[in-house]
Amino acid sequence: MSLNAVTAPLSFTHPIKATLSVAVFSLMLGLVGCNKAETPEQNANADAPAEQDAATDSTATTSDNDQVVTIYSSRNEQLIKPLLDKYTEETGVKVELVTDKTGPLMARLQAEGKNTPADMLLTVDAGNLWQAAQQGLLQPVASSVLETNVPAKYRDPKGQWTGLSLRARTIFYDPSKVNADQLSTYADLADPKWKGKLCLRTSNSVYNQSLVASMMEHLGEEKTEQVIRGWVANLATDVFSDDTSMLEAIAAGQCEVAVANSYYYGRIFDEKPNFPVKIFWANQDTTGTHVNISGAGVIANSDNPDGALKLMEWLSSDAAQGIYASSDKEYPVKEGVDESDLLRSWGEFKQDDISVQKFGALQTQAIQMMDKAGYK
């Protein structure tokens, strides 16, 4: 398993768990018990220094821990690190970042158990966060700050995770071949008029799994399966492994329409201001454009849950939310935060009001449905 630790090896930066302290404490109790001449009162007095020492060690450990928060992250390091560096600058709290894909990170957390150095899981898509919670990897937290900054539909009802940014998955098109008034909904892309003109990312993408899950919630299973079969019938080429390549395929003339996350489009614009592809906000006359989250949760076995929660709260603040919008090309999860000029240039749009935790709850059914419909 390949992991990229941005800072020094974790084994040198985290205190040894309480196992050693417990062993020492038990040994001291045993030695006291061997002296049969002592009274119970003397035994109690003999135990007191050991308890005091253990308490002192614990206090020192907590103090050290408060200065480090270790994150297991599937976010792109270049995008998230400026935010974390700013947090360290403002608070003095060091943030250690370990990056990999979500699946391997969750497998590592399972393997490490109580010995994990991780305090926070930072990842993309509500489906991933839901899965982490189901696997017992996250702990519930109570935070009035998160409740104020993050709408309930972007948080776990049990408090095990919260959204920190929004990403819209919508329709993109070649304006030299398609008029915007020809576009409407995700379901309409199953219409035969788009035969040989549609590009899609693989069904293995959790982004598409969540989109299909939202359609199942709105349209029902039968109608959603019909739509997926129509998508497959309309494909112009094989499915793509990533959104960027798919958007480039529109520009290259391989297809005329596609469904992708808007921030990929924004990042292309940073390098290619004249990129010949346009964005269309799907489902504006019905349920609204599908939106998902990137988010975080406190690790169940964290040594520093308070530090992790404080960082999550800071990431939901106005300052951090503005950076998400300007640097990451994602939408703020907190209402009222100013968006970047680029995001504003795409126009306002109606968002789907669905609670994102449903994406996780319906994920398995969505995967099975896509497989049944021949969507690979």
Q: Which pTM does this prediction carry?
A: 0.82
Burial 156-184 (b: 16+ CB within 10 A, else e): beebbbbbbbbbbbbbbbbeeebeeeebb
pLDDT recorded at residue 53 = 32
Q: Are residues 198 and 211 in the same domain?
A: yes
Q: Are residues 314 and 171 in the same domain?
A: no
How far from each other are the two terminal CA atoms of the chain, in whole angstroms?
Answer: 25
Domain count, the chain: 3
Structural domain including 192 reads 167-290+360-372
Task: Check: CB of residue 297 under 8 Å from CB of residue 73.
Answer: no
State the DSSP string of 4-23. EESSS-GGGTS---THHHHH
User: Mind listing the pLDDT tens digit for each residue in 22-47?
Assistant: 333 333 334 334 333 333 333 333 33
Domain membership of residue 352 (yes or no) is no
Domain membership of residue 278 (yes or no) is yes
What lies within 8 Å, CB to CB, of 195 at 6+ separation is 233, 234
Categorize the per-residue pLDDT at 3 as very low, low, confident or very high, splitting at 50, 70 and 90: very low
Give CA angle at 272 (268, 275), nearest 5°.
85
CATH code for the domain in which residue 282 is found: 3.40.190.10
pLDDT recorded at residue 50 = 31
With 50 as the cut, is the pLDDT of residue 269 above it? Answer: yes
Q: Are residues 93 and 154 in the same domain?
A: yes
Average pLDDT in the chain: 86
Categorize the per-residue pLDDT at 66 as very low, low, confident or very high, splitting at 50, 70 and 90: low
State the DSSP string of 187-256. GGGGSGGGTTTEE-B-TTSHHHHHHHHHHHHHH-HHHHHHHHHHHHHHBSSSPBSSHHHHHHHHHTTS-S
User: Mind listing the pLDDT tens digit for each residue in 150-200?
Assistant: 999 999 999 999 999 999 999 999 999 999 999 999 999 999 999 999 999
Domain membership of residue 108 (yes or no) is yes
Measured between alpha carbons, how far is residue 187 from residues 6, 181, 212 in Å?
42, 15, 10
Domain membership of residue 349 (yes or no) is no
**Looking at residue 352, what DSSP letter applies?**
P
Q: Are residues 251 and 367 in the same domain?
A: yes
Classify 111 as helix, strand or coil: helix
Domain membership of residue 72 (yes or no) is yes
If one counts every other C-beta atom within 10 angstroms of the C-beta of residue 113, the result is: 9
**Looking at residue 338, what DSSP letter applies?**
P
Categorize the per-residue pLDDT at 12 as very low, low, confident or very high, splitting at 50, 70 and 90: very low
Q: How far apart are CA 65 and CA 89, in angstroms?
A: 17
Q: Are residues 229 and 367 in the same domain?
A: yes
Q: Are residues 298 and 207 in the same domain?
A: no
Length of the chain equals 376
Q: Are residues 80 and 160 in the same domain?
A: yes
pLDDT recorded at residue 14 = 42
CA–centroid distance for 140 within its chain: 16
Q: Are residues 159 and 299 in the same domain?
A: yes
- Helices 126-134 and 363-372, interaxial angle, to 10°? 120
Task: Give the best-scoring range by mean pLDDT among 55-64, 251-260, 317-326.
Answer: 251-260
Domain membership of residue 353 (yes or no) is no
Domain membership of residue 344 (yes or no) is no
Classify 269 as helix, strand or coil: helix
User: Mind listing the pLDDT tens digit for each residue in 221-264?
Assistant: 999 999 999 999 999 999 999 999 999 999 999 999 999 999 99
- Helices 206-219 and 221-234, interaxial angle, to 10°? 130
Q: Are residues 76 and 152 in the same domain?
A: yes
Question: What average pLDDT does this structure show over 122-127?
Answer: 96
Sign of CA dihedral 337, 343, 349, 350: negative
Q: Are residues 156 and 232 in the same domain?
A: no
Question: What average pLDDT does this structure show over 269-293?
Answer: 97
Q: Are residues 42 and 86 in the same domain?
A: no
Q: Are residues 152 and 265 in the same domain?
A: no
Domain membership of residue 345 (yes or no) is no
pLDDT recorded at residue 67 = 83
